[in-house]
Chain A
């Protein structure tokens, strides 16, 4: 970012701070802890202030909700990040409550529906009870799970040490299998006095009650018909991953729907808090495993913000090139898999895979792995792009991909069966999309030209000439076409990046395995192919982060699936789910 831009944002934030504190003198104070920013809002006035932020200050999209457990201060903090869909930096506001159970914070569900899943996640993992939330159940952990794993004082069965590196590895390392550390040989803690004979999972019934509660069925209908509850999954929803969806049907029409997730949950946040800053990097590859480059990008951007280090010029370009290549292959796969979901098995998806394969070959040549790239480092990238790989990128961008994108369009776009399935089936309109915190192509297909690369530019995206792809109908066909538009724009960015890329060093820092990160907080976000990928990192100066949270676009976008599908036919459900382009590695984390 250039100097004038940052001063103007500073002015803007100072202005906002003054007007917000003037508007709510009793309930809003600025967060003055060194390294922290934003506002602390009194719990009692949270809903009022949030409504004002949305309606008067224009922060219409709630990006991230998460909790931080300040064990030493005996405080629990809920951190909100909101932003404007017209662009600009995000606004941070926090609520602090005493860390005495029950920890209660008013829910913002009524203000931003997008808080739904994220508040459930904060309840599940941190034990913060959001009063007024209509459906506060566990979301990632299984029903009947004991405790809240993200609290600082939670220790799992295989617990070894508070943070890596573990002392047992060196210098007296004796290998021992992890499961031999517990009597039952699994990573489970049984509560005191656990009796398997009388064990009843708590909220399996709750799931069906909440399904019933949000149902749109009408009793006064002329024909009295039974409503059936169908469990799709865990696995089927055309195997985008292990997702279970409970659907209530009136004939063929969906009257209510609840997604159930967490089958792939591994507590990425906790793993991150146990690992050093560098060690988190390969784990981020495994979030959205189609776009490890984009995940790396988001994480290193956040930590670089915290460390306040520059990034080598050449590395910035390499990062952009890799991120855009991964966007292209992600969208190609999206198109292929969507057609798969619509019932045309394999041919289109394999055509898409062919181009993806060539892009993965490039990733393999530069980073050493096709999917788990682990290519970015703080201050730059691991290694320079080899000459032959650079040539291959140029060949693909100039000669192959534009033609192949056209071929894909020729192949599918006018297909009458496809049109019959996609045209006029509503996905989301702009209001719904914003209300549900949906970001990425789904938001843009609904007519909101919100793209972080333009709205809040990071890296060197402000140097490229490209258009934000946007379409206005918000139906499935637009959602499908916008992927082609984005591939074209990515190719445009790539062409410019390949032309502009300078020679020089690829890392501004010396390679070091233990980076020093000053105390403070940072929220970094990038436009991943699936939406806004945010990382919230709190450091206390130690080698590992105090709090590490991923705002996964797939997970937040899934909030909208219920309102998207209500009233549509069950046959459209799998295609509608495909529109959100979810990856379970990222949803479940």
Chain B
């Protein structure tokens, strides 16, 4: 019969249409929220999703996975009396590895000796050029530069971020990437313990000799 194929196809569309309502009703019967709830959004991006699939941005937002990367930021640790201890040592690896070359670092020099001090005097990232590749975060030996999760940064002007705008606390980093943060902290503690052990070993060996 001519037209059978079209009807068959329309059957698929009808099925999808019905599923939307069936799914809504089943959530409603179970007393759960399908829309505007984290559970509902997670369900809609799982293998069991059927019916309406879209997420109503900006009222709803997709959950960002931990590894999600958007423009970089600099991490500082909070020291005593709210002092910002910037992790960056201005070694310049991020500026060297950056594919679009959008990182500019000014190194601090000691005013008396003229020797470099491991701290950035200024740090610029041209966010309009940044391609979010994540190399800077990946190759930073001090875990000082990390990729952000905050992607709503549209603006009407150009975005050259300076040190002030780039710095975010380590607690923020721990919040957006808990697994990475814990792994790095453990590695760091292990390294410090090894260092302490090495320092203690000659001290322990010295008296016996």
- Interface residue ranges, A against B (CB under 8 Å): 164-166, 168-175, 177, 275-276, 278-283, 347, 351, 354, 357-358, 361, 364-369, 372, 374, 382-383, 386, 389, 392, 395-396, 399-400, 407, 410-419, 511, 513-514
Please, what's the 1-or-0 string for B93-108, where 1 marks a CB less than 8 Å from any CB in chain A? Answer: 1011111010111110
Interface size class, chain B: 35 or more
| Contacts beyond the supplied A169-B103, A358-B47, A368-B65: 12 A-B pairs with Cβ under 8 Å | A170-B104, A174-B106, A175-B124, A281-B133, A282-B135, A283-B99, A354-B53, A361-B45, A365-B65, A369-B69, A410-B9, A416-B2
Chain B 22-80 interface residues, beta-carbon cutoff 8 Å to A: 45-47, 49, 53, 64-69
Cβ–Cβ contact A171 & B5, under 8 A: no
Supposing A279-B99, A282-B133, A383-B67 touch, asked if A173 and B124 sit within 8 A by C-beta, the answer is yes
CB-CB under 8 A from A400, the residues of chain B are 47
Counting from the closest, the 3 A-B pairs by CB-CB distance are A414-B5, A173-B104, A282-B133
Across the two chains, which residue of chain A brings its CB closest to B123?
A: A173
Q: For residues 1 through 18 of chain B, which have their beta carbon under 8 Å from a beta carbon of chain A?
A: 2-6, 8-9, 11-13, 16
Residues in A neighbouring B16, C-beta threshold 8 A:
351
Residues in A neighbouring B90, C-beta threshold 8 A:
170-171
Choose one: B46, B49, B133; the contact of A374 (CB below 8 Å).
Answer: B133
Query: B138 contacts the other chain (Cβ, under 8 Å)?
Result: yes
Q: Is the CB of A416 within 8 A of B6?
A: yes
Please give, as numbers and ranges, the residues of chain B lying within 8 Å of A386 by CB-CB distance. 65-67
B139 touches A511 (CB 8 A): yes
Among B45, B69, B99, contact of A275 (Cβ-Cβ < 8 Å): B99
- Residues of B contacting A392 with CB < 8 Å? 46-47
Partner of A165, one of B11, B45, B101: B101
CA distance A278 to B45 in the complex (A): 33
**Of the candidates B46, B66, B105, B135, which one forms a contact with A170 in the assembled complex, judged by CB atoms under 8 Å apart?**
B105
Chain A contacts for B6, CB-based, 8 A: 415-417
Whether B9 pairs with A412 at a CB distance below 8 angstroms is yes
Known contacts A279-B99, A361-B45, A372-B133; A413/B67 CB under 8 A: no
From A278, A279, A383, A414, B8 is in contact (CB under 8 Å) with: A414
Q: Is the interface of A mostly helix, strand, loop or mixed?
A: helix
Chain B residues lying within 8 Å of A419, measured Cβ to Cβ, are 5
B67 touches A367 (CB 8 A): yes
B65 touches A410 (CB 8 A): no
- For chain B, residues 104 to 130, give those with C-beta under 8 angstroms from any C-beta of chain A: 104-107, 116, 122, 124, 126
Complexed CA–CA distance, A173 and B103 (Å): 8
Residues of A within 8 A of B5 (CB): 413-416, 418-419
Chain A residues near B145 (CB-CB < 8 A): none
Residues of B within 8 A of A283 (CB): 99
User: Which B residue sits closest to A377, measured CB to CB?
Assistant: B138
Inside 8 A of A358's CB, which chain B residues have their CB?
45, 47, 49
8 A-B interface contacts by CB (under 8 A) = A170-B103, A171-B107, A175-B160, A281-B133, A357-B45, A410-B8, A415-B5, A513-B135
Rounded to whole angstroms, the CA-CA distance of A90 and B126 in the bound complex is: 43
Are the CB atoms of A169 and B160 closer together than 8 Å?
A: no
| Residues in A neighbouring B99, C-beta threshold 8 A | 164, 275, 279-283
Is the pair B97, A278 in contact by a Cβ cutoff of 8 Å?
yes
B66 → chain A closest CB, angstroms: 8
A414 touches B126 (CB 8 A): no
Set of chain A residues within 8 Å of B98, measured between Cβ atoms? 165, 169, 279
Report chain B residues within 8 Å CB of A418.
5
**Contact of A172 (CB < 8 Å), options: B97, B106, B138:** B106
Which A residues lie within 8 Å of B68 (CB)?
364, 368-369
Assess whether B47 is in contact with A173, with CB atoms less than 8 Å apart.
no
Q: Decide: A368 near B45, CB < 8 A? Known: A171-B105, A278-B97, A511-B139.
A: no
- CB contacts (< 8 Å) of A279 on chain B: these are 97-99, 135
Residues of B within 8 A of A399 (CB): 47
Residues of chain B from 153 to 201 with CB closer than 8 A to chain A in the complex = 158, 160
Judging by beta carbons under 8 Å apart, are A169 and B105 in contact?
yes
Q: Name which of A173, A367, A386 has the most chain B CB atoms within 10 A of its CB.
A: A173
Query: Across the interface, do B9 and A411 meet the contact criterion of CB distance under 8 Å?
Result: yes
**How far is A173 from B124 in the complex, measured between Cα atoms in Å?**
8
B180 → chain A closest CB, angstroms = 10
| Distance to closest chain B CB from A102 (angstroms) | 36
Report the minimal beta-carbon distance from B139 to chain A, rounded to whole angstroms: 4
Most B CB within 10 A of own CB, among A165, A172, A275, A367: A165
**A170 and B3 within 8 A (CB):** no
Q: Are A382 and B9 in contact (CB under 8 A)?
A: no
Residues of A within 8 A of B12 (CB): 407, 410-411
- Pick the residue among A173, A280, A282, A389 that contacts B131 (CB under 8 A): A282
The reply to whether A368 and B67 contact each other, CB–CB distance below 8 Å, is yes
A389 CA / B65 CA spacing, docked (Å):
10
Note all chain B residues with C-beta closer than 8 A to A361: 45, 65
- Interchain CB contact (< 8 A) of A366 among B67, B92, B96: B67
Residues of B within 8 A of A367 (CB): 67
* Cα–Cα, bound, A396→B45 (Å): 11
* A514 CA / B101 CA spacing, docked (Å): 15
Cβ contact within 8 Å between B106 and A173: yes
B144 contacts the other chain (CB 8 A): no
Chain A residue nearest in CB terms to B126: A175
Q: For the complex, give the distance between the alpha carbons of A174 and B89 in Å.
A: 17
With a CB–CB cut-off of 8 A, which chain B residues contact A372?
131-133
Contact A396–B47 (Cβ < 8 Å): yes
Nearest-CB residue, chain B, relative to A399: B47
Residues of A within 8 A of B107 (CB): 170-172
Residue of A at shortest CB range from B125? A175
The CA of A363 and the CA of B11, in the complex, are separated in Å by: 32
Chain B residues in 8 Å Cβ range of A171: 90, 92, 105-107, 116
B69 proximity list for chain A (CB < 8 A): 368-369
- Pair B53/A170 contact, Cβ less than 8 Å: no
Residue of A282, A395, A513 ringed by the most chain B CB atoms within 10 A: A513
Interface centre among A175, A283, A382 (most CB of B within 10 A): A175
Q: A173-B124, A364-B68, A372-B132 are in contact. Are A415 and B9 (CB under 8 A)?
A: yes
Cα–Cα distance between A12 and B139 once the two chains are bound (Å): 43
Asked whether, in the complex, the Cβ of B67 is within 8 Å of the Cβ of A347, the reply is no
Q: What residues of chain A lie closer than 8 Å to B116, measured between beta carbons?
A: 171
